[in-house]
Amino acid sequence: MEFRHLVRQGRFTGPTSGVCPGYTQANLVIVPQAYAYDFLLLAQRNPRPCPILEVSDVGSRQLQEFAQDVDLATDFPRYRVYQNGKLVAEPTAVDDYWQNDFVAFLIGCSFSFEAELVAAGIEMRHTSLGVNVPMYNTNLPLRSAGRLQGQMVVSMRPVPAHQVATAVQVTAAMPRVHGAPIHVGDPMALGINDLAHPDYGDPVPLRPGELPVFWPCGVTPQNAVMASQLPLVITHAPGHMLVTDVLNQKLKN
Which residues of this chain interact with a copy of itself, rule CB under 8 A?
A: 36-37, 40-41, 43-45, 52, 55, 57-58, 64-65, 143, 146, 172, 175, 253
Residue with smaller CB distance to a copy of itself, 36 or 224? 36
CB of 168 to a copy of itself, least distance (A): 12
Residue with smaller CB distance to a copy of itself, 175 or 185? 175
Nearest to 71 by CA among 60, 61, 81: 61
CB 108 within 8 A of CB 53: yes
CB of 245 to a copy of itself, least distance (A): 16
CB of 238 to a copy of itself, least distance (A): 25
CB of 131 to a copy of itself, least distance (A): 33
Residue with smaller CB distance to a copy of itself, 37 or 95? 37
CB of 251 to a copy of itself, least distance (A): 13
What is the C-alpha separation between 90 and 34, in angstroms, rounded? 24
Residue with smaller CB distance to a copy of itself, 77 or 179? 179
Reduced to 3 states, what is the DSSP secondary structure of residue 201? coil
Q: Which residues touch 11 (CB under 8 Å, ≥6 apart)?
A: none
Residue with smaller CB distance to a copy of itself, 9 or 253? 253
Give buried/exposed letters for 223-243 (b at 16+ CB in 10 A, else e).
bbbbebebebbbbbbbbbbbb
CB 26 within 8 A of CB 66: yes
